[in-house]
Structure 1
Amino acid sequence: MEKTIRKVGIMGGTFDPIHIGHLILGEAAYEQFELDEIWFLPAGKPPHKRNRSGRASDVQRVEMVHRAIASNPHFVLCTKEMEDQGYTYSYRTLETMREENPETEFYFIIGADSLFYFDEWKNPERICAAAKILVATRDHAGDEKLLSCMKQNAEKFHGIFLKLDTPNLDISSHELREWIREGKSVKYYLPDSVISYIQEQKIYQD
């Protein structure tokens, strides 16, 4: 009897805080590529984001993701990178996931902004060996430029890069943190459950 291959999308990020754009992206990937689940993976200690003053703690970031995805049965919280010591790298996390889930095909979701400096990531060829790469449009990147960069990376790193069709929601966690500090409303940008938690915990407020 043939083994059933499960298809899982990986949505990584610092999620500081998780916002509506992340959730729409996950749902779009689930629908377009007929995935079984989307795993939301809060980053542990990403080496490119070392200065985390004025940010949420790891526990708070995980709880915000938990609250944001609680109502969606195919969204799953994955705390894999919270268990690692030292800096975390995508290639290591994905390789470990592959080893632990041999009957699962992984789809790693990135934004167009990440695609354009993908060759600067740690061991990009190992990321490509561990997962297919789903590229979401962001920052108004033109289709021609996006597809050209996807093709170049696919050839260079022997990977499969697929375009994820999503609305171009120009929302950044950095901007939302600033709004919260300034006392501006973030309603509709963040799930209500996340807004309540930020207020309870007084996160991002000087």
Structure 2
Amino acid sequence: MERIGIYGGTFNPPHVGHIQAAKQAVAALNLDKLVIIPTRIAPHKALPEDSPTPRQRLEMLRIAAADCPKAEVSDIELNRGGVSYTFQTVSELRERYPDAELILLMGSDMFLCFDQWRQPDDILKNAELGVFYRGTKGEKTAVAENKAKLEQRGAKIRLVENDIVDISSTQLRRMLAFHCAGPFLSPGVAAYIREHGLYDVNAPWKNLPMPELE
């Protein structure tokens, strides 16, 4: 049976942490394919003003994912339009791959609030969950408790302890405004950002505090 991972996010911008997580998922979960999906409109947060267009995020992600074997970037949520709800995406992929083992990837922060997602039980009917977590005692305990609770409802959950680059896209956008984000971007993505004038120094986040640079 084919094992397919599903990895969604805003990817604003896609950085080395995203690709490290993708590679780790392929290896740890023995995936035959990893479908990486940029959201059109995230249900839990609005993108900052002056963010790249959805198609620009898609193109950057395709550039970044070229370094990840077995990964393919999908525009399924961009084509659907509207708010990007995961249950709809998983349902559509289940129809596309009726005999595959689907594994929805997420970080521990999203896993711990999984019951607040739109129609979580529909997701659990169509896919297993693959949860990345760091090995701190508090996080291990919280993840284990939520795992046990969801498994009582029939969920299948796989845990993957990770050591990916610890940087958020918000931090990276601030660094881009100051032209110091190079170590966290693939050369191709960095070139695309320069070519299209994205995350410019006049962007709103330029004025956000950046203690690391003071």
Residue from 126, 138, 144 that aligns with 1:147: 144
1:179 aligns with 2:175: yes
1:47 aligns with 2:18: no
Q: SS of 1:198's equivalent?
A: helix
Cα offset, 1:138, TM superposition: 4.9
Return the alpha-carbon distance in structure 2 between the equivalents of residues 173 and 153 of structure 1: 29
Displacement over 6 Å in runs of 4+: none
Q: SS of 1:159's equivalent?
A: coil
Corresponding residue number in structure 2 for 1:107: 103
Return the alpha-carbon distance in structure 1 between the equivalents of residues 109 and 175 of structure 2: 23
- The CA deviation string for residues 148-199 of structure 1, in whole angstroms up to 9 with x for no partner, is 12222332x431111012115321001100111123x112211111111111
> Which amino acid counterpart does residue 15 of structure 1 have in structure 2?
F
- TM-score, normalised to structure 2, is 0.88
Say whether the 8 Å CA contact 1:8–1:107 is kept in structure 2. yes
Say whether the 8 Å CA contact 1:111–1:138 is kept in structure 2. no
Which runs of no fewer than 5 residues in structure 1 stay unpaired? none
Return the alpha-carbon distance in structure 2 between the equivalents of residues 16 and 145 of structure 1: 28
1:198 aligns with 2:162: no
> Which amino acid counterpart does residue 119 of structure 2 have in structure 1?
N
Say whether the 8 Å CA contact 1:68–1:194 is kept in structure 2. yes
CA RMSD of aligned residues (A): 1.6
- TM-score, normalised to structure 1, is 0.91
Return the alpha-carbon distance in structure 2 between the equivalents of residues 204 and 161 of structure 1: 37
Which runs of no fewer than 5 residues in structure 2 stay unpaired? 203-214
Return the alpha-carbon distance in structure 1 between the equivalents of residues 107 and 127 of structure 2: 15
> Which amino acid counterpart does residue 56 of structure 1 have in structure 2?
P
Corresponding residue number in structure 2 for 1:57: 53
Return the alpha-carbon distance in structure 1 between the equivalents of residues 165 and 143 of structure 2: 17
Say whether the 8 Å CA contact 2:90–2:126 is kept in structure 1. yes
Return the alpha-carbon distance in structure 2 between the equivalents of residues 139 and 176 of structure 1: 24
Q: Between Structure 1 and Structure 2, which shows a larger proportion of helix residues?
A: 2
